[in-house]
A = this chain, B = another copy of it.
Amino acid sequence: MIEVFKKYIREKSKVSEEDLDKIIAVCQVKRVRKRQYLLQEGDVWKYNAFVTKGCVRTYTLDDKGNEHIINFAVENWWTGDRESLASGESSIFNIDALEDSEIVLISKSNFEMLCVQIPAFNDMVNGILQKSFIVAQNRIHTFISLSAEEKYLKFLEKFPHLVMRVPQGMIASYLGITPETLSRIRNQTAKK
């Protein structure tokens, strides 16, 4: 499955085959079963992580025990907690697998080494970061300007594949609404 990661790097960067080997050499492949944790609240996140197979989610738990899903990651997406990784402080997030999954892990120090030694890798990483920021900003925009229904319709547009793959209640959580509300929205929009 590491081939998925190789393919991704080839497409997204100008890293040479030689350097690609260098990257792969420091990769660790982690297999996780459905419901298994990759990160638990309170632990420090120490990797850069890339999903080659399956699906994971990042979420928090509030006082009342409600889950709040910050994001999903399927094949070819990165996951992890950048804040904990950067600061070395314990994470407020949980990450677990929604399906049996396979994750490529690169430790913080190895990752930094790759960034220094392989400029093309560094560029790729920063390009991804930039894109992630833009995605985050657009999501913020949906929160300040759209109703529950509009957020759902936009989600449908952007992530049609996720709608089939992830339980509906989790999509509701991602959108910041309750499962009941999402169910009703779907019911209503279906009628139209």
Contact = CB atoms under 8 A, between A and B. Distances in A.
> Which of A129, A138, A144 has most chain B Cβ within 10 Å?
A144
A173 interface: yes
Nearest to A141: B70
A176 B126 CA distance: 30
A136 B126 contact: no
A191 to B, nearest CB: 23
A81 to B, nearest CB: 9
A129 B133 contact: yes
A174 B66 CA distance: 25
Interface in A142-192: 143-145, 173-176
A132 B134 contact: no
A145 B58 CA distance: 14
B139 A140 contact: yes
B82 A141 contact: no
Contact of A86 (B62, B69, B134, B145): B134
A21 interface: no
Nearest to A175: B144
A19 to B, nearest CB: 18
A154 to B, nearest CB: 13
A53 interface: no
A60 to B, nearest CB: 7
Contact of A140 (B140, B145, B173): B140
A175 to B, nearest CB: 8
A16 interface: no
CB-CB nearest 5 A-B residue pairs: A144-B176, A136-B136, A143-B143, A68-B145, A133-B133
